[in-house]
Structure formats: C-alpha cells, structure tokens
Structure 1
Amino acid sequence: MRLKDKVAIITGGASGIGLAAAERFGQEGAILVLADINQDNIDRASAELSAKGYTVHGEICDVTDQAQTREMARAVAEKLGRIDILVNNAGISRYRPFAEATAADWDAVLGVDLKGVFFCAQAVAPQMRAQQYGRIVNISSALGTGAAPHGTAGSPGGSAAYASAKAGVIMLTKTLARELGPDGVTVNCVAPGTFLTPISASSRTPEQVQEHLEYRKKTVVLNRIGTLEELANTILFFASDESSYVTGHTLHVDGGRSDRM
C-alpha cells in the first residue's frame, strides 16, 4: 500500500474531487481526514468511506478563516500524531459575464480557491517541517493555465475570478515548493480539465452543464470527459513517495486539451 498509515487531510473532502481522492487514498491505506465546511456532507461521506473499511475522521473547517485552518491542523496533529499529506481541494466558482461580476463574486472565489490554499498550507507546514516530511497537493484548473476560447456564463471573461484564482494556485505551488523543500516537504499541483462534479452545476443550469460537457469533449484529443478515478490517481501520485523527487510541478490532467496544444 502506497499510503499505509499516512495521515491525509483533504479539504473539500466530502464531495466531488475531494471524495474521489479520499476513496483512492483509503484504498492505499491512508488515515483520512475530511476537512469540509458542511457537517452533513462530512457525516455522509464518512459513513460511506467507513463502510468500505477505511479509517476516517471529519473536521469542520472554513478554509477562508485562518484561525479555523490552524485549529484544524492542530487538532489533527494532536489526535493522530502527524500530518503527512494535505490535498488543497476546497473550491467554488461563481461564473458571471465579466461586466456583471461583483466585488462579492471576486472576493468569494479568491477567498476559497486561493487564500484557502495559502491558509491550509501555512497551517500544516509547522507539523510537516517538524517531521521533515510532507506532501502538499494543490488543485488548480485548466482554466488557470490559459483563457479558453469557449465563453463561460455568456462571456469570454465569465470565468475571470475562478481562472485568476487557479492561476494563482500554480504560482503559489512554486513558491511553497521553494519554501518547504529544504524541510523534506514537496508541493505539487494538479490542473484538471473537465470533470463532472458538483461545482460543474454550481453556476449552470442542467442544460448548460450538458452543453458544456459536449463542447469540452470536442476540445480534447481523447474525445471524452475524464473520470474522477483518473484524476484521483494523479493526486495519489503526488501524495505518495513515487513522486519523492518532484516538487513545484503542475501536471495537466485534461485529456489533451487541443486549445492548449
């Protein structure tokens, strides 16, 4: 088992990409910590994972609150003795036509998708440094690597806040890799393309979701939407010692996006 007895915190771990990563980590023997803002989701996901024989703990945490992230990390270290892995997955989107986007939209998205990554990494870093070991995996997005030609929310700039935050995650990954590398902590980033998750529908109607998926199929050389299991396998690579000499790297998991090639 690649993660046997490793303590893995996954933010936004009770649904979507986070839950898929948690299940994959559980298969590899990790002790799972689902850090999420929604207690009902934590309870549901914990029950689902526990029924499969995985060791699961839940922690309520608003990643935009620095005090909460520090308390979450302190509680995990006190309860479980160490923190080996952090997956910075918690994220939101508020797709709006550029001209209609508000300051509240901007602040909400950057608060969770960028500031939350910074706060959580900062919270676990002291424990990882003390151990001289750690794996931090940040979740960015293909939207953070270039402006896609397909308009989001009726505007080419409809993903301005989300794309800006996810681009920031890529650069934050590099700076944290430089900061924490001497202490045996690797920091890497996964930039997913299109996957069907709850966030896909957070700012779209069901019809818009289907249109979005059909369009994206045509922009990837594999001509299909990826599965969460495929994405979880990539996250696992960075969380495991198989990637022990890789840090500061962003790996695109997007089926070969033709608009990037």
Structure 2
Amino acid sequence: MELGLRGRMALVSGGTRGIGRGIVEAMAEQGATVAFCARTPAHVTATETEIRNRGGAVHGATVDVADPGPLQAWVAGAARSMGGLDAVVVNVSAAGGGGGAQGWRTSLETDLLGALTMVEAALPHLARSSAPSITVIASTAAIEVPDGSGPYHAMKAALVNHAAGLARTLGPRGIRVNSVSPGPVLYPGGFWQQSQAARPAQFEAMRARIPLGRMVTVAEVAKAVCFLASPSASGISGINLVVDGAMTQRVQY
C-alpha cells in the first residue's frame, strides 16, 4: 500500500536498532529519503550501508540527542542536504537511564529535552512542507501504573502529553503531531528477547497478559508510525496510537 511517503524527506532519531531501525527501513521501503542518527559510529555506518544496499535512500549521522548543539546542527544539516523536511520521528530513549537520581537526569535530558530540541529545530523546515508531521515514540508504560517509581514511565507519559499539546498549538500551522505507544516488542537483541533467555518466567508472565498471544514486532510498530507520519493520515492529529496486542486494559476513547 502506497502511503504517500514516496519522495518525502524524513528525520528519525535512534535509527540503528530496534524500533528506530525498523522505522528507517519501513520509510525507505515506502520511497522516502531518510536521515537518521545514533550515538555509535559503527552502528550508523553499518545501518546506512545495509539499507542502501537494498536500494534505500538513507543518510546516517553520529549524534547524541542529549547534546543540544550537535542535535540542532544535525537537524538543520539534514534538512538542507535532503532539500526539505516532511516528517520527524522522535524515537530515542535512555530507557530509564540506569536508575537513581542520575537516571532521572539522563532520562530527562535524552527522552524529554532531546525531543523538545529536535522538534524546535525541525519546525522552520516543516513549515515549508506540504504535508508536515511529527510522530513521537512513547510506550504503554506511559498509560499504565508502574510497579515502582521510575523515570522511564514518567518521561514517556510526559511525551504523550507534550505531543497532544503540540497537536493543538501546531495545528493552525498545518503540522500534525501524534504519538505511538508500543507495548512489549520482541526483536533480536532487545530487552524481551534477553528476558526470554535469561528470565523465562518474567517473559511468559508478560506474554500471558497479551490477548493476541504474542508480543508485537518491530515491523508492526514501524508500519503504524509510517501511516501516522504519511499524507495518508492527513486528518489525524493529537492521538496516541497504542500498538500492544490489546495488552493495556484502558479503553482508548
């Protein structure tokens, strides 16, 4: 299905593994030109090479989104080199930052302030697009009561709230803003694959919560993101799309 991404220019943070990598691949397959960033140079180069070898138009860069200056420079440089910017996907997370007070600081700087900086830097370029969109990757952790107090849940909740607010403030400028909240995602090298091997009881307990009978895949989340970011979703703004196999019990009115 053609979503209308062909010929569009997209920006994705954290694009070398997991959900971010899946989004870069899916957008490239839809014919978009995609600029992505990550912190590890070797991973950036490998991702860029692999997707280009499959015919994708991608451009990788080494950027730490917690560092505002380089992040702003990357956004501006990517938009300039691609000749514009149509879709922004904010994906990077510190995944809790390792716990403790420093974990909260790391999560704040990476998840929340990194998102704020990326969006603000992208706005002048999105304003020149005929179909601008911003998609924020959150989590079902944002809408469920956590087992304990943790920065990951709090930052994801803040991102969902912020995205909804942006949809209201940027709507008059024609810029759509949505968030996507994946549930547990099973992919090679990810948390839940590691849990399956090292903590099988934890893995099975989580899987048993999911009415679909399995965890969702990276590709399933990426397809949802591509749709919301595309002109095919031109009337959709301000939603939080949950992709979790019906795990969360709250009704999404």
Counterpart in the other structure of 1:146: 144
CA contact (8 A) 2:167 2:237 kept: yes
**Distance in 2, Cα, partners of 1:53 & 1:110:** 37
Mapped pair 1:40 → 2:42: yes
Using the size of structure 1 for normalisation, the TM-score is 0.88
Per-residue CA distance 1:200-240 (angstroms, 9 max, x = gap)? 279979513x4443222111111111111111110011111
Amino acid at match of 2:219: E
Consecutive unaligned residues of structure 2, counting only runs of 5 or more, are none
Per-residue CA distance 1:4-44 (angstroms, 9 max, x = gap)? 11111110011110111111111110101111111111101
CA contact (8 A) 2:37 2:61 kept: yes
TM-align CA RMSD: 2.1
What percentage of residue pairs aligned between the two structures are identical? 27
Paired residues, number = 248
Amino acid at match of 2:206: R
Query: Which secondary structure state, in structure 1, belongs to the residue aligned with residue 165 of structure 2?
Result: helix
Using the size of structure 2 for normalisation, the TM-score is 0.91
CA contact (8 A) 1:221 1:258 kept: no
CA contact (8 A) 2:131 2:231 kept: no
CA contact (8 A) 2:144 2:248 kept: no
Per-residue CA distance 1:115-172 (angstroms, 9 max, x = gap)? 1111111110111113354111100000001215xxxxxxx216x1100000000011
Mapped pair 1:230 → 2:220: yes
Query: Which secondary structure state, in structure 2, belongs to the residue aligned with residue 257 of structure 1?
Result: coil
Query: Which secondary structure state, in structure 2, belongs to the residue aligned with residue 32 of structure 1?
Result: strand
Q: Which moved more, 1:250-259 or 1:43-52?
A: 250-259
Counterpart in the other structure of 1:12: 14
Change (3 A) 1:202 1:133: same
Query: Which secondary structure state, in structure 1, belongs to the residue aligned with residue 211 of structure 2?
Result: coil
Query: Which secondary structure state, in structure 1, belongs to the residue aligned with residue 164 of structure 2?
Result: helix
Counterpart in the other structure of 1:157: 148
Query: Which secondary structure state, in structure 2, belongs to the residue aligned with residue 91 of structure 1?
Result: coil
Alignment of 1:78-117 (within 5 A): 78-94=80-96, 101-117=99-115
Counterpart of 2:71 (choices 65, 69, 72) is: 69
**Distance in 2, Cα, partners of 1:71 & 1:142:** 31
Deviation of 1:106 (Å): 0.7
Runs of 4 or more, structure 1, over 4 Å off, are 201-206
Amino acid at match of 2:59: H
**Distance in 2, Cα, partners of 1:73 & 1:80:** 11
